A = this chain, B = another copy of it.
Amino acid sequence: MAVLMKGAEVAAAMKEKMLKDVDELNKNGITPCLAIVRLGSKPDDLAYERAAVKKCEGLGIKCTIFEYAEETTQDRLIEEIKRIDGDTSVHGILLFRPLPGHINEDAVKYIISPGKDVDCFNPLNAAKVFAGDESGFAPCTPEAVMEILEHYGIQPEGKRVVIVGRSMVVGKPLSMLMLKKNATVTICHTRTRSLEETCRGAEILVAAAGKARMVKDSFVSGDSVVVDVGINVDESGSLAGDVDFESVEKAASYITPVPGGVGTVTTSVLARHVIRSAMAGLGA
């Protein structure tokens, strides 16, 4: 039976350090503040927003929600983001993506200044992740994966890491964070042949494919560490990860649950980014 890697445990450990930092900020008259920018009100966005606000407020981070109609024009959105970005009391900006189809992401993504771009939307932050430069903000989810492994004492150094999924929000940046830790990284996706065999060869397997329960027990060995980034709603309407938890937990050595795994830590990473941005203002 695999050891359960619980997001709440990791988040609790992160919280201690963050509370100290927020205290330090408060002593300097600063309240860290996250601006959440949302167009429309997709249920997924709202669920993440609720979790992010709850996490932030529990840490003393103020959240300001900027909600706009889904049909907001690109020009108006750019104008609004510029205004929010220019507000010195705002330390981080989270913009929900994907944006509605009539808005060209390329026209918007440079607007959030890199120092406030706490979820790595700006290509300047993405370029830093690519280069292994830790001075920028990595996307929150891949950083959460690294945080969980570190908390449970699993070192990627020299290990065979297989990542299923190649998105710009998880798979690709995670591959760079893993490389930075000296893992040997394999990136798989829908066109990968013999996916099962490739996954079985992994010492650390990260599922970020967005396909409910696709990773079966035949994809792992008794030594596998399995991290599940998926959040899917299955046919019966219930929440499921990319990993078939019931069978895989019997076959692997470590596993994250869904819910209660990566997602829980992702909002902690987001909060930490906001605090880090505010601390930078201290000249700390």
A residues contacting B by CB (< 8 A) are 123-124, 126-131, 157-160, 166, 168, 172, 175-176, 179, 182, 184-189, 191-193, 198
Contact = CB atoms under 8 A, between A and B. Distances in A.
A168 B198 contact: no
A127 B172 CA distance: 11
A131 B168 contact: yes
Contact of A184 (B124, B175, B192): B192
**Interface SS of chain A: helix, strand, loop or mixed?**
mixed
A184 B186 contact: yes
A106 to B, nearest CB: 9
13 contacts: A123-B124, A123-B131, A124-B127, A126-B130, A129-B130, A130-B172, A131-B168, A172-B176, A172-B179, A175-B175, A179-B189, A184-B187, A184-B193
Contacts of A176: 172
B158 A191 contact: yes
A193 B158 contact: yes
A198 B192 CA distance: 17
Nearest to A123: B127
List 7 A-B pairs, minimum CB-CB distance, nearest first.
A123-B127, A182-B191, A127-B127, A186-B186, A130-B130, A184-B192, A126-B127
A126 B198 CA distance: 28
Nearest to A180: B166
A184 B198 contact: yes
Contact of A187 (B126, B179, B188, B189): B179
Given A130-B172, A172-B176, 16 more contacts: A123-B123, A123-B124, A126-B127, A129-B130, A130-B130, A159-B193, A172-B179, A175-B175, A175-B187, A182-B191, A184-B186, A184-B193, A184-B198, A185-B186, A185-B187, A186-B186
Nearest to A181: B191
Contacts of A127: 123-124, 126-127, 130
A189 B182 contact: yes
